Structure 1
């Protein structure tokens, strides 16, 4: 039997590992049930996908149909259309890749007949699914399928687009106009748009020049309170027969700044060190050891981010000043150049604005890593 990770890493987490989000999850669920479309934007690795998947789970319990489309996994317009169709049809068939079953040679005649019965009223033109057919018509069909399916089933449908800002990469800049033209006619579907590039998402939904202007309400993702983290971490260690005093747990949250993924990584490294050392109790020393191990594990990721930032003029210089706690703007550089660098750093999710002319790291461990590189 597979052993569950004490502190989950590297992907969406289960309901029990979503820390202190109940009010926010309830609000999201109710808004989507009422037909309101929502936008959630924030840096990667802060738990947006976990929140969305939990909301979908709750919506299914309420009798809704749901669909989840990950734009990062999609390569082109055809793939985009098929991903939407698969996500929608899974509600009927229980098969993740229904289209593959439809266009392939289904060996089991009984299975084929059963599948056809489940899809009998959706009027799927099988010729559209062939690779050399008109992609535009296929995409039109896919974009309207959520509302058609919901209408035929007399259900509410909720569709999640993860990393929505990637749609233009996948299907070209005009895709937003096409999607808005379809979505605004849907009476039985609400949409949840997730994005890791906050400036791009803001432009898509808040600029009057963009097709999705005011289509969805943008909600801020609330930070996890320190006390909630402390309660969660202490409870998880206790479940493994380990004692965690409040000072040691509080030190973990202080070092990570409560960043969801980084907090989990540090906790995981502390846990594994305790196992290796045959110790049963957390201490400030074991927390520091776990933190150093986590920082080392994150170093390839941080190095890659630094390399990307250094390719853009002035970004590296501006980042170093922010790292040291200095003002972002310098008399030695033109304000417009600094502004472009700041916008780039914010688009990458490295920093966020905390006040007029003041910026902070979204990931305190990344700041610590750069500080060590500078020393």
Structure 2
């Protein structure tokens, strides 16, 4: 695939993020904790992976947990412990290796020796340990491990807003009580529900109030996209009719990372199928329509999720066409709740008082076509 889609991308495919990644690397290496919030498919995980790679190269221990993949306190604890100890053992599921001692001793001598060392140094948790005690061990482990090995630790938490859904809202108070005392760990919190993340880290009544520096994820400039897309096409021997064709890709996608990649890919496949070697405005527009078809099930799912109430669908359509969102015969509080739901669902983003924009411009076009 010429333009990467469907997951984190390597450093070479990170467009327009160099300065931002450098800033994150500097802040985290100096002990600052950071919160990044933004909808899925805009590149948060790719940025986090690159920062993690750079800090690991500097000698940091690096661990990560995706709360979307956890289901309860115990699974959270095991995910943290396994990710932390992988720095020592090189084994993804160290807990299983330790708890299945017979198999370990029979077939993995090097790991067995490392595990013996872990138990001597860290007081390894037992399989029969209750969930609450295991979680407390896990929350303390990043700092203990880093201190024992004279290292600094980067702990990455993805979809952090889901921790409360998985383990109850008290999990945040428990985490904060441990994290605020740790001196060897920097935390990078990622979340796809921007409203919830802003509330968690900006609300005075929330446990993580002012614990981490909240940084906005910068939009990728038109120039960065133009240079990147042009270079990728030229590598395949594709001629560019003019910069306008490249800029049109960015205009149609609104600079949304995954949608820009998708349109670019469809342009490339259109050229291959047509036996052409020149990117033109016509090819770009065909690619855009093909991309819209591919995104249809994604957009349908989003609209099904947020549009269960008729007033939400109506507000969404008004935002798409640019009409005033407060209407006669509709209570302002109902409209406000609809707007809040769209913000929490990462469909729209507030820009200023009374002004909102679609996070994904192609979704705005889809709404215009659908209603």
TM-score higher than 0.5: yes
CA distance in 2, matches of 1:217, 1:13: 25
2:309 to 304, 307, 312: 312
Please state how far the C-alpha of 1:87 moved relative to its aligned partner: 0.8
CA distance in 1, matches of 2:124, 2:146: 19
**Which is worse superposed, 269-278 or 136-145?**
269-278
1:256 to 253, 257, 278: 253
Please state how far the C-alpha of 1:215 moved relative to its aligned partner: 0.5
1:281/1:121 CA distance change after superposition, 3 Å: farther
Q: Does 1:280 align with 2:252?
A: no
CA distance in 2, matches of 1:118, 1:198: 42
State whether residues 328 and 358 of structure 1, in contact with CA within 8 Å, keep that contact through their aligned partners in structure 2: no
Please state how far the C-alpha of 1:348 moved relative to its aligned partner: 0.4
Root-mean-square deviation (Å)? 1.3
2:238 to 235, 242, 263: 242
Residue-pair matches, total: 367
Q: Does 1:300 align with 2:283?
A: no
Deviation string for 1:316-369 (max 9, x for gaps)?
A: 111010011112211221111111000000000000112221111010100111
Residue 116 of structure 1 is matched in structure 2 by 115
Secondary structure at the aligned position of 2:71 is classed as coil
Deviation string for 1:241-279 (max 9, x for gaps)?
A: 212231111110000000001001111111111112121
2:331 to 328, 334, 353: 334
Please state how far the C-alpha of 1:112 moved relative to its aligned partner: 4.5
State whether residues 89 and 111 of structure 2, in contact with CA within 8 Å, keep that contact through their aligned partners in structure 1: no
State whether residues 93 and 118 of structure 1, in contact with CA within 8 Å, keep that contact through their aligned partners in structure 2: no
Secondary structure at the aligned position of 2:35 is classed as strand
Unaligned runs of at least 5 residues, structure 1: none
CA distance in 2, matches of 1:238, 1:351: 35
CA distance in 1, matches of 2:149, 2:143: 10
Q: Does 1:125 align with 2:124?
A: yes
Please state how far the C-alpha of 1:138 moved relative to its aligned partner: 0.2
State whether residues 89 and 115 of structure 2, in contact with CA within 8 Å, keep that contact through their aligned partners in structure 1: no
State whether residues 20 and 228 of structure 1, in contact with CA within 8 Å, keep that contact through their aligned partners in structure 2: yes
CA distance in 2, matches of 1:103, 1:238: 54
CA distance in 2, matches of 1:126, 1:143: 13
Unaligned runs of at least 5 residues, structure 2: none
Structure 2 length normalisation: TM-score? 0.96
CA distance in 1, matches of 2:15, 2:71: 33
Residue 177 of structure 1 is matched in structure 2 by 173
Please state how far the C-alpha of 1:169 moved relative to its aligned partner: 1.2
State whether residues 92 and 118 of structure 1, in contact with CA within 8 Å, keep that contact through their aligned partners in structure 2: no
Q: Does 1:34 align with 2:33?
A: no
Residue 25 of structure 1 is matched in structure 2 by 21
State whether residues 162 and 194 of structure 1, in contact with CA within 8 Å, keep that contact through their aligned partners in structure 2: yes
CA distance in 2, matches of 1:43, 1:32: 22
Secondary structure at the aligned position of 2:279 is classed as coil
**Which is worse superposed, 272-281 or 171-180?**
272-281
Residue 168 of structure 1 is matched in structure 2 by 164
